[in-house]
Amino acid sequence: MTLAILADIGGTNTRVALADGATVRLDSIRRFPNADYQARGQDIAHVLQDYLTQTGAKVTGVCVAAAGPVQDGVATMTNLDWVMDAAKLTHATGAAKVAILNDLQAQGQALGHIPAANLRCVIDGPVKAGASMLVVGLGTGVNAAPVHPGAQGRVVPPSECGHVNMPVRTEEDFRLVRFIEARLAAEGEVPHAGVEEVLAGRGLANLHAFAATETGHPASLTSAEVLAALAAGDPVAAHAARLYVHILAQTLADLALIHLPYGGIYLIGGMSRAMTPHFKTFGLTEGFREARRVDLLQKDFSVTVVEDDYAALTGCAAYLHSQP
- Phi and psi at residue 134, in whole multiples of 5°? -135, 130
Predicted confidence at residue 56, as pLDDT, reads 96
State the DSSP H helix or E strand holding residue 238, giving kind and residue range, or none if neither.
helix 235-259
**Class of the CATH domain delimited by 3-109+310-322:** alpha beta
Residue spans in the chain of domains classed CATH 3.40.367.20 = 116-307
Low-confidence ranges of the chain (pLDDT < 50): none
What fold, for 116-307? Hexokinase; domain 1 (3.40.367)
Cα 286 to chain centroid distance, Å, stands at 23
Burial-class residue 176 by CB neighbours within 10 Å (0-12, 13-18, 19+): buried
| pLDDT at 1 (0 to 100) | 60
CB within 8 Å of 244: residues ≥ 6 apart: 198, 199, 203, 204, 207, 275, 278, 282
pTM (2 decimals)? 0.91
Return the closest-CA partner of residue 206 out of 230, 176, 232, 174: 176
Residues of the chain with CATH 3.30.420.40: 3-109+310-322
Dihedral in degrees, nearest 10, Cα atoms 225, 227, 228, 230: 120
pLDDT at 160: 84
